Chain A
Amino acid sequence: MTELLQQVINGLSLGAIYALIALGYTMVYGVLRFINFAHSDVFMLGAFTAFYSSRAMGRWGFASGGFLGGLLVLVISMAACAAVGILIERLAYRPLRKRSTLTVLITAIGVSLLLQNGGQMVFGVNPKAFPNIFPSQTFKLGGLVINSNQLVVLGVALALLTALHWIVQRTRIGTAMRAVSFNATAASLVGIDTNRIISFTFGLGSALAGAGGVLYGMNYPSIEPLMGNSPGLKAFIAAVLGGIGSLPGAALGGMVLGFVETGVSGTRWSTYRDAVAFAILIGILLFRPAGLLGRNRIEKV
């Protein structure tokens, strides 16, 4: 029983990170109908920004191991990633706005490779040890062990999900985002600056990826420029699983994937972890092609 509960906690903290990254994929897809493959590398940049900014803060005598210092590092990383996301959209995707989705998709892969290899040049290829940016402590509840980092991951993920939901559902710009997602041409006809909305969407998605990177680094303190590959792919699966284009779907998909992976890893069949994750994806897509919470859209030919 204790073991099971412990695995639930492990699954939650892994799922929360997948969910955060998946949100970025799904948001960009919702608005632009294409998969931003560079998203997982923005995630990597988030981890590295946190790595360097917490170092710099340490040099200026700022306590980066404290709670406030940790939050500051998180905010810096999110801001930096938002800027990078907007820049990528402006330079790489906007000039191709009127081209076919395939062109943009391949460009996205190009940007992803650029960031990965650029990262290898700038940061070096060897894994770096991620600093403790939040005070780390371990809590024991009976046989259960919860690390404060896991709590921070869960807390931050929940707070960001709520904030995102509020932005998309309650604010003017969120309404505009939904309008662009619904029909970009019609949205621009009623006076919405689609370019601005798309930039905002990229910024928001990339900030979430940045936060995901920082949380991932805290939980698994070894970061390297190719670290985005595996969680990026998993988050993409999570987004598809939950129904790509749907925000609650991405969060749900991330959690499901986190639980499945932890559940399988804890058994004798730990090597089949990815196989089970993919099998579930295939199963869900067979019976619900739009994903768990996705809506079926009829394509007009």
Chain B
Amino acid sequence: MVSIKSFPDTALPAGEVVSEETFPVCKTDSHTKVPTSTRKAEKPAFPLPWLFLASRAGRPSGTLVLKPEQPNSLLMNRSSLLPGGRSLSVLGAVIVGSLALTLVGCKQEGGGGGGAAAGTEPIRVGEYASLHGSEATFGQSSHNGTVIAVEEINAAGGVLGRKVELITDDNQSKSGESATIVKKFISRDKVVAVLGEVASGRSLEAAPICQTNRVPMVSPSSTNPDVTATGDYIFRVCFTDPFQGRLLAEFARKSLKATKVALLTDVASAYSAGLAKYFREPFEKNGGQVVIEQKYTGKDKDFRAQLTAIKAANVNAIVVPGYYTEVGLIVAQARQLGINVPIFGGDGWEAPELIEIAGAENLANTFYSTHFSPEVKNPLIEQFVAAYKTKFGQVPDAMAALGYDSAVVLFDAIKRAGSTEGPKIRDALAATKDFPCLTGKTTLDAQRNATKSAVIITVKDGKFKYLETVEP
């Protein structure tokens, strides 16, 4: 099952008494119903997400059902998640909490997620993705890959005998949205784990929330090292920027024979700034020199000023560790200004829009490193490429492969954990070793990062072309 939800659809009808059906606060085996007449249905629930969440946390209205071993701290936790409406939510949490304490002796277990009872109910996995906006191509590819993984596992009978339900929410490539979405996933949809995001900046927003609630999060393609450094519940299935930076530095020194390069960094993106840093260190250690570093801010359109300064610095190559929307314009404007040196960058480049925006002829002599190429021969890849083509009518890119990998690694962990409880899934994820993935065998190390090979792609006649594979 794959369902896409968005806030307006899930907003509560005003003034409705919420039943156990709509909101399984926590479930019980013995179905001990505790009637509460203390608070009738709350005042109209506003469609504003945070207000709505706030009123939800303090909602003992309707029927409240408690389960002995269910941690009442869950409710407390949830209220602490809320950004606003504090007094209301705190009050609500206190009421619920004390009720729970007086009625049932609750045992603390400290697990978030996994709230829904076992049985035949689907296992819910939340996915926050950039389906629209500036990184939409990445987000959609990644989402498509995930969808294929979910369909495959459900066709094979699901995980632990239960179907997997993927709940996807779109953050529109905006900062600030991911945090809200993940809060909703955990407090309301009761997901057992979270998948996301392609952009490191937005993964960094969601990661602390997953960490505090002990819900494992697997990022498909956030390469910034800080993402998994957030805590022991945050994993990734792709290589990290230090590795990618080192690889790019090596590529610049050996393949391009560049000694003097210019850096053009997007200061508004954690990914870009990180990759620039990890490129610079090994490059300078190997005798290279970053002659000039220029900066821009995501969504900028005019890079001529920076490029003119770069041109005057007379470099052998330009490193642009950015995302395709800006990279396309940068490459086009650089070529217009008569800069013909190689331009290269990381996996943020990979999107068909890059060729449309930059123009095929401008992309001659450009390179980027990425995780996957559909041209590599491997039965797993061939099968995935075929399935992807049938369903979406296009050849999958690296983001699609990583989206797929993030999901299969998670399902494998849930299987091995034999449970949908956050801490158990976490332990199983941490023990992932040599799991066959599209982007190479995946082993998650002590820092919860994957170590795997990378490929270098170049653009020839308006098409992405596989150049070489680089082992870690």
Q: Are A10 and B132 neighbours in the complex by a CB distance under 8 Å?
A: no
Interface residues in A243-280 by Cβ distance below 8 A to B read: 261-268, 270-271, 273
- 24 A-B pairs whose Cβ atoms sit less than 8 Å apart in the complex: A2-B312, A3-B311, A10-B308, A14-B304, A125-B133, A125-B136, A126-B132, A126-B133, A126-B137, A127-B134, A127-B357, A129-B328, A129-B356, A140-B338, A147-B336, A222-B357, A224-B134, A261-B305, A262-B302, A262-B304, A266-B305, A266-B308, A267-B309, A270-B294
A125 to chain B, nearest CB (A): 4
Q: Please indicate the chain A residues that have their CB under 8 angstroms from the CB of B308 in the complex.
A: 3, 6-7, 10, 266
Q: Note all chain A residues with C-beta closer than 8 A to B337.
A: 6, 145
Asked, given contacts A270-B294, A270-B305, whether A129 binds B357 with beta carbons under 8 Å apart, the answer is yes
* Residue pair B338, A138 in contact (C-beta under 8 Å): yes
CB distance from A133 to the nearest CB of B (A): 14
A266 and B356 contact, CB distance less than 8 A: no
A1-31 Cβ-contact flags toward B at 8 Å (1 or 0): 0110011001100100000000000000000
Residue-by-residue, is B262-296 near A (CB-CB < 8 Å gives 1, otherwise 0)? 00000100000000000000000000000001111
Contact status A127-B305, CB under 8 Å:
no
Q: Is B98 an interface residue (CB 8 A)?
A: no
Q: How far is the CA of A7 from the CA of B306 in the complex (A)?
A: 9
Name which of A145, A222, A264, A268 has the most chain B CB atoms within 10 A of its CB. Answer: A222
Q: Quick check: A126 and B301 within 8 Å, CB to CB?
A: no
Question: For the complex, is A230 an interface residue (Cβ under 8 Å from B)?
Answer: yes
Distance between B33 CB and nearest chain A CB, rounded to angstroms: 44
- Measured in the bound complex, the distance between the Cα atoms of B136 and A220 in whole Å is 19
Any chain A CB within 8 A of the CB of B420? no
Mark contacts of B365-384 with chain A using CB atoms, 8 A cut-off: 1 yes-contact digit, 0 otherwise: 00000000000000000000
* Contact present for B172 and A221 (CB under 8 Å): no
- Asked if A222 contacts B329 (CB within 8 A), the reply is yes
Chain B residues within 8 Å of A, Cβ to Cβ: 132-134, 136-137, 172, 267, 293-297, 299, 301-302, 304-306, 308-309, 311-312, 325, 328-329, 332, 336-338, 353, 356-357
Taking CB atoms, residues of chain A closer than 8 Å to B338 are 138, 140, 145
Which residues of chain B are near A216, meaning CB under 8 Å? 301
Q: In the assembly, what is the distance between CA of A128 and CA of B336, in Å?
A: 20
**Chain A contacts for B134, CB-based, 8 A:** 127, 224
- Point out the residue from B267, B297, B357 that lies within 8 Å of A221, measured CB to CB: B357
Within 8 A of B (CB), among A170-197: none
The answer to whether A221 and B332 touch (CB under 8 A), given A126-B136, A266-B308, is yes
Bound CA–CA A120/B132 (angstroms):
9
CA distance A221 to B356 in the complex (A): 9
Bound Cα distance from A11 to B308, whole angstroms:
12
Do A10 and B357 touch (CB < 8 A)? Answer: no
CB < 8 Å: which of B136, B305, B329 contacts A262?
B305
Which 5 residue pairs of A and B lie closest in terms of their CB atoms, listed nearest first? Answer: A265-B305, A220-B301, A129-B356, A125-B132, A266-B305
Q: Tell me which residues across on chain B come within 8 A of A127, comparing CB atoms.
A: 134, 325, 353, 357
Q: Which of chain A's residues have a CB closer than 8 A to the CB of B312?
A: 2-3
B364 to chain A, nearest CB (A): 15
A270–B262 alpha-carbon span in the complex (Å) = 14
Interface magnitude class on chain A:
35 or more
Residues of A within 8 A of B332 (CB): 221
Give Cα distance in the complex from A264 to B296, angstroms.
11
- A14 and B132: CB pair below 8 A? no
Q: Which residues of A contact B306 (CB under 8 A)?
A: 265-266, 270
Closest to B302 in A: A14
Q: What string of 1s and 0s marks CB contacts (under 8 Å) between A114-135 and chain B?
A: 0000001000011111000000
What is the distance, in angstroms, from A4's C-beta to the closest C-beta of chain B?
Answer: 9
Contacting pair A271 B305 (CB below 8 A): no
Who on chain A is nearest to B140 by CB? A126
Are A271 and B297 closer than 8 Å at their CB atoms? yes
Q: Which of A11, A129, A227 has the most CB of B within 10 A?
A: A129
Contacting pair A10 B305 (CB below 8 A): yes
Q: Tell me the smallest distance from the CB of A215 to a CB of chain B, in Å.
A: 12
Report B-chain residues with C-beta under 8 Å of the C-beta of A221. Answer: 329, 332, 357
Task: Across the interface, name the chain B residue whose C-beta is closest to A128.
Answer: B356
CB-defined contacts of A263 to chain B, threshold 8 Å: 305
- In the bound complex, do residue A10 and residue B302 qualify as a contact, i.e. CB atoms below 8 Å apart? yes
> Are A270 and B296 neighbours in the complex by a CB distance under 8 Å?
yes
Interchain nearest-CB distance for B335 vs A (Å): 9
Residues of A within 8 A of B304 (CB): 10, 14, 262
Give min CB distance, A213 to chain B, whole Å: 12
Residue from A2, A126, A145 whose CB has the most chain B CB atoms within 10 Å? A126
* Cα of A267 to Cα of B312 in the assembled complex, Å: 12
Chain A residues lying within 8 Å of B172, measured Cβ to Cβ, are 125
Known: A6-B308, A222-B328, A271-B297. Is A138-B336 also a contact (CB below 8 A)? yes
- Which of chain A's residues have a CB closer than 8 A to the CB of B293? 268
Nearest Cβ distance between residue A228 and chain B, in whole angstroms? Answer: 12
Nearest-neighbour CB distance to chain B for A67, whole angstroms, equals 19
CA distance A140 to B299 in the complex (A): 29
Whole-angstrom distance from the CB of B134 to the nearest CB of chain A?
7
Bound: A116/B294 CA distance, A: 31
B residues near A264, Cβ cutoff 8 Å: 305
Output the least CB separation between B298 and chain A (Å).
11
| Minimum distance in angstroms from B270 CB to a CB of chain A | 15
Contact assessment for A126 and B302 in the assembled complex, using a CB-CB cutoff below 8 Å = no
- Of the residues B137, B267, B325, contact of A222 by C-beta under 8 Å: B325
Contact across chains for A126 and B309 when beta carbons are under 8 A apart: no
Task: Please give the distance in Å from A3's CB to the nearest CB on chain B.
Answer: 4
CB closest chain-B residue, reference A263: B305
Q: How far, in angstroms, from A220 to B359 measured CA to CA in the complex?
A: 12
| A271 & B295 in contact (Cβ 8 Å cutoff) | yes
> Smallest Cβ distance from B304 to chain A, in angstroms?
4
Q: Which residue of B lies closest to A224 (CB)?
A: B134
Q: Which residues on B sit within 8 Å (CB–CB) of A227? A: 301
How far does the Cβ of B200 sit from chain A's closest Cβ, in whole Å?
Answer: 19
